[in-house]
Structure 1
């Protein structure tokens, strides 16, 4: 693939991803609750978007012409909260209140109370449906911004996701750039054992989407795919991002246990040592 990111930019994004992974581990350990595996796996996607690709203003979270981001796999809030805090949407100190009673940082994104959150999600399938509806609104208002959506692969076993796919095709929503976080693991096990999705690329193509498949933990490939998506006119784009659940922590990688299990003290210490070594 053509080199899209200069070496210094790539290194800065890689270091940022490591910092965000440390925040994810810390938040979930402190709360003794939360989804660590999928958050770690999706970190490179969210970092590429917020630190390089998206137009957004942390000092004005309601800026009308900002790009929108919808975390359809809403249980993976640790990654988006860590990024939003680091960008300056709210104080880093707030991360200590993750999943605490009265906190604005609940287990699933809640748009009315959390600066930087563009859509409330949690019920699987709801986020992509909300996102394409928002994108149609943008089209009607002749807006040029993009709507970025990250779905889980277990999530798109829901029929609602495919209704959204038909909707986006019907209305030619080329302002939609979506991702399937394809790690093959969900809370009950391997997605192909529970409800097979493969072959996934031709499925989305048959619904009228432009489809690409990338390594979702490779920042160069993420940036390149989004650039290609922006060149597409007249149809939405789905990027199948093959990721490693638990990416960055060796004993969490590709282990279904870490879908929603918080790390105990020893696991937390070992994870942080690995991530410190990575930086």
Structure 2
């Protein structure tokens, strides 16, 4: 497994870079989330998921649901890295008639399974998909990517109960715990700890990892995949908003980032420099 890590780190770097370039196109965006979630997306699309880049609708594919639709800028970057959409399209991000709208929409983008963004909707859909795939005898997994803000939503916990009741061993939920939402720190908007105990009490197999520790994320994905039937599984990922660009990491408010035009170039230069330094170690 360790031999996979350098290539996955390179993927995560490119995902961050693509996201920053898209942010530069509009001068704003959910960049903090994209930088923080890049390591998870790198492992998902660089290792864990079964998919065909040239056939996004392949019936045997694993489904990756972007419940937090405002993370679309991160997801598009992962799709570019996966070869599902072209790098040239990032220049159209958020523009009229683009296949890359600012919030994820399934009707627009190849590889986008649902129109997310109405938080709390992804996991209920994932439960339905996982149940349907199992009844069809399809071995595919369903991955639901969601934010800690969605823990505020009753529909999330109703779906969690249903997944356990039906023994959906083909369902993996990925929760980004960055402690940030539009109204402030997630833990202050509505406290959610002890989170691992809560998911466990709902009948899920729980792992909690540093979502920016790529080897730990890789191990968590592999373990979730090999557990076998009987229980849904959740990977709780503690992440840092703006990861990889220090002056964005330390911003007090980074749920939706607007920076001056020269700062986009500065962010790219810092990211490139840190990547080069890491490669020399």
TM-score, normalised to structure 2's length? 0.94
Cα 1:196/1:183, change in 2 over 3 Å: same
Which structure 2 segments of 5+ residues have no match? 276-281
Shift of 1:269: 2.2
Kindly provide the CA deviation profile for residues 1-54 of structure 1, in whole angstroms up to 9, marking residues without a partner as x. xxx321xx3112112211111111110121123211111111100110101111
1:257 is aligned to 253
Kindly provide the CA deviation profile for residues 195-246 of structure 1, in whole angstroms up to 9, marking residues without a partner as x. 0011100111111111111111112111211222123220100111111111
Alignment of 1:246 with 2:242, yes or no, is yes
Shift of 1:263: 2.7
Partner of 1:211: helix, strand, or coil? strand
Q: Is the 8 A contact 2:172 2:233 kept in 1?
A: yes
Distance 1:138 1:263 in 2: 44
Matches within 5 A, 1:123-272: 123-232=118-227, 233-253=229-249, 255-272=251-268
Q: Is the 8 A contact 2:65 2:142 kept in 1?
A: yes
Distance 1:45 1:103 in 2: 26
Alignment of 1:74 with 2:69, yes or no, is yes
Alignment of 1:16 with 2:5, yes or no, is no
1:110 is aligned to 105
Runs of 4+ in 1 over 3 A off after TM superposition: none
Q: Is the 8 A contact 1:28 1:263 kept in 2?
A: no
Q: Is the 8 A contact 2:160 2:202 kept in 1?
A: yes
Distance 1:182 1:126 in 2: 17
Partner of 2:254: helix, strand, or coil? helix
From 2, 5, 11, the equivalent of 1:5 is: 2
Alignment of 1:275 with 2:271, yes or no, is yes
